[in-house]
């Protein structure tokens, strides 16, 4: 079980969190024209790196804040966590 440092609450066990996918994903702006391909990339396509991955986690059984985690997908090493408005 991972130990994740919520930027608001501190270190907590993984079972308090839920995973939220790639943190580098940007939702296309509303009301803006977008090609089928770009939209498909946003909805369906994710890279699946072995190694460093910036991702979102949600402290569901805690402060209910979404935040960013920089994690090694192969070793589970967590290098850094940050609030949504901070750089990883």
Using CB under 8 A, which residues numbered 46 to 75 contact another protein? 56, 58, 60, 64-66, 75
Tell me the two tokens of residue 61.
Answer: 């059984």
Site mask, another protein, residues 3-42, x = CB under 8 A?
Answer: x---------x----x-x------xx-xx--x-x--x--x
Rg (CA), the chain: 14
Say whether residue 63 binds Zn ion (CB under 5 A).
Answer: yes
Tell me the two tokens of residue 81.
Answer: 């966590």
Q: How many whole angstroms separate alpha carbon 57 and alpha carbon 68?
A: 6
Q: Which residues contact Zn ion (rule: CB under 5 A)?
A: 6, 8-9, 59, 62-63
């Amino acid at each position: 079980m991972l130990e994740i440092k919520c930027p608001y609450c501190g270190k907590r066990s993984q079972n308090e969190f839920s995973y939220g996918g790639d943190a580098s994903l940007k939702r296309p702006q509303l009301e803006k024209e977008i090609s089928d391909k770009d939209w498909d990339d946003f909805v369906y396509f994710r890279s699946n790196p072995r190694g460093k991955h910036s991702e979102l986690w949600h402290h569901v059984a805690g402060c209910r804040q979404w935040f960013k985690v920089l994690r090694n997908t192969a070793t589970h090493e967590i290098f850094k966590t940050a609030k949504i408005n901070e750089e990883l």
